[in-house]
Amino acid sequence: MTGWLDPLRAALDAAEEPVPFFFRDDDAGWDDDALAALLDVFERHGMPLDVAAIPTETTARTAALLRRRGGDVRVHQHGYAHVNHEAEGRKCEFGASRAPEQQRADVDRGRRLLAELVGDLPSLFTPPWNRCADWTPAVLRDLGFGILSRDLSAGRADVPGLAEVPVTVDWFAKRRKVPVDRDGRGGLLAQSAATGGPVGVMLHHAVTSAEERADVSDLLALVAAHPAATTVHLDALAARVG
């Protein structure tokens, strides 16, 4: 049943130092029912989850879900409205066609909106589609953000004062445009763990099936039980990798 996790188990068995894991679920504000179902899984295992919430999409109902008792959930800002502003090329909300002043206004407005709904937020920002313009990191730093979380492939901005904690495994990764299957996913997790971590797993509750939620649950059970794995919130890693 959990054969797909054998490579990860082997990588952890071979680890000489504890391997830190964090889990980031994106797009809170979209599909509250799917969000609730994923929160249930994390709650059952008592595992920490970092939720990236879209300010303009987050409703009072979403906020209530995120704040409910029992879950070890921390909410941070995911863009502003999760819209694409680029006329060409890859989708981006904070891309090259948005000047620093426009980005600054969007981020600031979004942060206020979200803080009103969910209360205090960590100074952590995840751009939609995991990418942004060259100047976005400095905009974030100037607004007081301390951490930027993108994908490993985005590289590093190296802006002093802004730590970067990228996700390393996309649950919905594609290889040559084909979504990875369960075994492929197990391989990616093992690969990331073999580097010593942090292993950052990116989830998207809105497109996660019940079967995949069961797989997430099996992954959490392994990570919770394995002596070489630790789990933390994303911002706890900032000092280590920043």
Residues that bind Zn ion (CB under 5 A): 26-27, 128
Among 62, 76, 92, which Cα is nearest to 206's?
62
CB of 160 to Zn ion, least distance (A): 27
- Quick one: 51 or 193, whose CB is closer to Zn ion? 51
- Where helices occur in the chain by DSSP H, the ranges are 6-14, 32-45, 60-67, 100-118, 136-142, 182-194, 210-225, 238-241
Q: Is the Cβ of residue 93 or residue 235 nearer to Zn ion in the bound state? A: 93
User: Which residue's CB is nearer to Zn ion, number 59 or number 195?
Assistant: 59
Phi (first) and psi of residue 52, to 5 degrees? -90, 115
Rounded least distance, CB 181 to Zn ion, Å: 23
Give min distance, CB of 128 to Zn ion, in A: 4
Give the residue among 70, 40, 66, 69 at the shortest CA–CA distance from 53: 66
Question: Residue 163, by phi and psi: left (phi above 0), alpha (psi -120 to 50) or beta?
Answer: beta
The residue type at 134: D
Closer CB to Zn ion, 4 or 171, in the complex:
171
CB of 82 to Zn ion, least distance (A): 6
